[in-house]
Amino acid sequence: VQLQASGGGVVQAGDSLRLSCAASGRTFGTYMGWFRQAPGKEREFVATISWIGSTTYSADSVKGRFTISRDNAKNTVYLQMNSLKPEDTAVYYCAARYGGLSSTNNYPYWGQGTLVTVSS
């Protein structure tokens, strides 16, 4: 599975941004996740979604503000980010795995990351 994340940019606090992750290869049955890594910090879980999109799980820090979704016809996963805060500034990575949802780093496939900068 190959992943290409896009949609990052520089926004102000309170703004919205939508990230996209285009997948190719053996995408059928994949569970997808978004992670982020802020400067000087470890990578952390953001959200995950099941293959058919019926089940999602988000980190407490983004719950109610971020929404993960997917369009399997387009082989694309999205992360809609609303009410952005300066502490959301990070490189955002999409990841894929088989076998179920996971909030840990045990995803074998990773995209290259897209930078989101939120100014106050």
The whole-number pLDDT of residue 111 equals 97
Q: Report the percentage of the chain scoring pLDDT > 70.
A: 100
CA–CA gap between residue 76 and residue 22 (Å, rounded):
5
Phi, psi angles (nearest 5°) of residue 99: 100, 0
pLDDT in tens, 61-96: 999 999 999 999 999 999 999 999 999 999 999 999
Within 73-118, residue ranges assigned H as helices are none
The whole-number pLDDT of residue 30 equals 97
pLDDT in tens, 23-42: 999 999 999 999 999 999 99
